Amino acid sequence: MTSPRRAAVRLFAVALLAGVPGATAHPLGNFTINHYARVEVDAERLRVRYVIDLAEIPTFQEIRRADADGDGSLSAAERDAYLEPVVAATIQGIDLGVDGIRVALAPGTKTLTVVPGAGGLPTLRVVADLAAAVPGGGSSPRRHVRFVDANDRDRIGWRELVVVPGAGIAIFDSSAFGSGSRTS
């Protein structure tokens, strides 16, 4: 993707698809941890928007962990203190590579929000923007991107991986759950 020409990317992704959609906020149940990754591929960079959606029970457990002063709410400092290691661990759980070379994701913006769930009980949503530089390649315009997400593999939850091509990029042979046009 160092060439300004239209490039093609073959993306190999491993996504654990753990279930079926339903009508509720957490279709696989109130103890799930759900993961969404949107991988945007362009010639220079790989950008990942990573979302962790915790249903009511893991939220209950995590809030206890994050609420350092035990006052029942999460201050800005508590949110930051919670997010920092969570995002770092998430990055560690992602195996991202280009043409067999592992590339390192760096954290960007990250937020933690509390979203009302069943009966108004809280659920947590972590959103982290991650990015990595694409290493230089040879003369071939075809590149192979590997994205394997090993985070929370022992937890039940929905997992979704969407690949979005950047300008001048075509995606083919993708094993991701979905792909689409750039949305943001």
Partner 1 sequence: MDGRARASAPRLGLLLGFLSLAAGACGDRGPGEREATPAPPAANADEAAIRYLESRVRQDTGNFVAYDKLAGYYLQRMRENGSLTYLDLAGRAAHASLAALPAEGNPGGLAMLAQVDHGARLTELEPGTSYPYQILGDALLELGDYGRAAAAYRRMERLVGRRGESRLNLETRLGRLAFLHGQTDAAERHLSAALASALDRDSTPRETIACCHWQLGELYFALGHYAAAETHYREALVTFPDYFRALGALARVRAAQGDVRGAIAGYERATRLVPDPTYVGALGDLYRIAGRESDARAQYDLVEHIRTLSALAGTVYDRQLASFYADHDIEAEMAYAAAAKAYVVRRDIYGADTLAWTALKAGRVEEAQAAIGQALRLGTSDARLLYHAGMVARAAGDQARKRELLGRALALSPAFDPVHAPLAREAVEE
Q: Please report, as ranges, the residues that interact with partner 1 according to CB under 8 A.
A: 17, 19-20, 22, 24, 26-32, 56-57, 60-61, 64, 118-119, 121, 154-156
Nearer to partner 1, 29 or 97 (CB): 29
* Residue 26 beta carbon to partner 1: minimum distance, rounded to whole angstroms: 8
* Residue 95 beta carbon to partner 1: minimum distance, rounded to whole angstroms: 21
Numbers of helices and strands, H then E, in the chain = 2, 11
Q: For residue 115, how many other CB atoms are within 10 A of its CB? A: 12
Handedness of CA 55, 57, 60, 64 (dihedral sign): negative
* Residue 169 beta carbon to partner 1: minimum distance, rounded to whole angstroms: 29
* Residue 155 beta carbon to partner 1: minimum distance, rounded to whole angstroms: 7
Q: Are 147 and 35 in contact (CB under 8 A)?
A: no
Nearer to partner 1, 147 or 158 (CB): 158
Nearer to partner 1, 27 or 135 (CB): 27
Q: How far apart are the first and last CA of the chain?
A: 21
Give the angle subtended at the CA of 181 by the CAs of 92 and 114, to the nearest 5°. Answer: 50
* Residue 121 beta carbon to partner 1: minimum distance, rounded to whole angstroms: 7
Nearer to partner 1, 18 or 148 (CB): 18
Tell me the residue type at 5: R
Q: Coil, strand, or helix at residue 12? A: strand
Alpha helices by DSSP H, 44-75: 56-66
Nearer to partner 1, 149 or 152 (CB): 152
